[in-house]
Amino acid sequence: MGKFEITTRKNGEFQFNLKATNGQVILTSQGYATKASCLNGVESVKKNSQDHNRFDVKEASNGKPYFNLMATNGQIIGSSQMYANEVNMKNGIASVMKNAATAEIVDLTEA
């Protein structure tokens, strides 16, 4: 089962990473001012990741594909890594769709 890991950035903001069952990070959030808003972001990923239309495919300036997961209001709630090719990127989207809905939440800020 995948998991959302909640951590704190150096600037004190909270963020989450969605990890696949193999431990690879498949989606990273923006920074959030509070843990509560970060947890709301996790819930938004769980919900929106089940709709293929919420994935916005992009290409970086170096030509590598990546994707953003969008909320219904158009806000980015998570971004992928950059992939070597489109096939790997599509596999990344499939992994987010598969893992996000049932992923456990692990709060590493309380360690």
In 3D, which of 60, 109, 104 has the Cα closest to residue 83? Answer: 60
When divided into structural domains, the chain yields a total of 1
Residues 6+ apart with CB under 8 A from 7: 14, 15, 16, 17, 108, 109
Instruction: State which residues form the domain around 40.
Output: 3-110
Tens digits of residue pLDDT in 77-108: 999 999 999 999 999 999 999 999 999 999 99
pLDDT category at 1 given cuts 50, 70, 90 is: confident
Tens digits of residue pLDDT in 11-58: 999 999 999 999 999 999 999 999 999 999 999 999 999 999 999 999
Tens digits of residue pLDDT in 46-73: 999 999 999 999 999 999 999 999 999 9
In 3D, which of 16, 20, 15 has the Cα closest to residue 92? Answer: 20
Q: What does the pLDDT read at residue 110?
A: 78
CATH of residue 15: 2.30.29.80
Gap between the Cα atoms of 61 and 34, Å rounded: 32
